[in-house]
Chains A and B, each alone.
Chain A
Amino acid sequence: MRKIAVYGKGGIGKSTITSSLSAAISKLGYKVVQIGCDPKADSTINLTNGQKVTPVIQYLKEKGSCESLDEIAVKGYNDIVCIEAGGPTPGVGCAGRGIIMAFETLEDLDAFEEFKPDFVFYDVLGDVVCGGFAMPIRDGYADEVIIVTSGEKMALFAAGNIKMAIDSFGDKGYGRLRGVILNKRNIENEEEIVSRYVKDMDSEIIGIIPRDGNIQKYEEQNMTVIQGDIELPISKTIMDIAKSIVEGSEIQ
Chain B
Amino acid sequence: MKGLYSVLPPFAPDYSGVSSVFFELGGVMVINGADGCTGNVTGYDEPRFYSSTACVYSSGLRELNAVTGDESFIVERLKNEKGKFIALASTPTPAVIGMDQRAIAQKISTELGVPVYHFDTTGTYTYEKGASEAFARIAENMLIDMDEKIDNSVNLLGAIPLDYWNEVQIENIKEALIKRGIHINACWAMGSSLEEIRHSLKAQMNLVLSISALKAAKIMKEMYNISYVIGVPIGRGYSDVVADKIKQNLGSDMEKKEVIKKASNVKKMLIIGEQILANSIRKAVKLEYDIEDIKVASFFHMDKDLMESTDKFIDSEDSFEELLRKSDYDLIVGDPLFKIFLSPTEKKNYVELPHLAVSSRLYWDNYVCYTGEAGMEFLRSSL
Residues on A lying within 8 angstroms of B by beta carbon are 64, 94, 96-97, 99-100, 104, 130-132, 134-135, 138-140, 169, 171-174
Contact = CB atoms under 8 A, between A and B. Distances in A.
Contacts of B120: 104
Contact of B98 (A134, A139, A174): A134
B100 A134 contact: yes
29 contacts: A94-B96, A96-B97, A96-B98, A97-B95, A97-B97, A97-B98, A99-B98, A100-B95, A100-B98, A104-B120, A130-B97, A130-B98, A131-B69, A131-B97, A131-B98, A131-B100, A132-B97, A132-B98, A134-B100, A138-B102, A139-B102, A139-B103, A140-B102, A169-B103, A172-B100, A172-B103, A172-B107, A173-B103, A174-B103
A130 B98 CA distance: 8
Contacts of B69: 130-131
6 smallest CB-CB distances across A and B, nearest first, come from A131-B98, A172-B103, A132-B98, A97-B96, A131-B97, A100-B98
B240 to A, nearest CB: 39
Interface of B: 3, 69, 95-100, 102-103, 106-107, 120
Name the prevailing secondary structure of the A interface residues: helix
A95 to B, nearest CB: 11
Nearest to A97: B96
A131 B99 contact: yes
A215 B72 CA distance: 46
A136 to B, nearest CB: 11
A16 to B, nearest CB: 27
Contacts of B100: 131, 134, 138-139, 172
Contacts of B95: 97, 100
B130 to A, nearest CB: 15
Nearest to A64: B3
A93 to B, nearest CB: 10
B271 to A, nearest CB: 26
A138 B103 contact: yes
A59 B102 CA distance: 28
Nearest to B104: A172
A140 B100 CA distance: 12
Contacts of B96: 94, 97
A99 B98 CA distance: 9
Nearest to A172: B103
A173 B106 contact: yes
Given A94-B96, A96-B97, A171 B107 contact: yes
Nearest to A133: B98
A139 B3 CA distance: 34
A107 to B, nearest CB: 10
A131 B100 CA distance: 8
Nearest to B94: A131
A64 B96 CA distance: 18
A139 B105 CA distance: 12
B272 to A, nearest CB: 22
A131 B66 CA distance: 10
A100 B102 CA distance: 14
Contacts of B102: 138-140
Contacts of A94: 96
Contacts of B3: 64
The CB with the most chain B CB atoms within 10 A, among A131, A135, A138, A139, is that of A131
B91 to A, nearest CB: 14
Contacts of A172: 100, 103, 106-107
A163 to B, nearest CB: 17
A230 B159 CA distance: 62
A135 B98 contact: yes
A135 B101 CA distance: 12
Contacts of A173: 103, 106
* Highest count of chain A CB atoms <10 Å: which of B96, B97, B98, B100: B98
Nearest to B103: A172
A172 B102 CA distance: 9
Which residue among B3, B97, B99, B106 has the maximum number of chain A CB atoms within 10 Å of its CB? B97
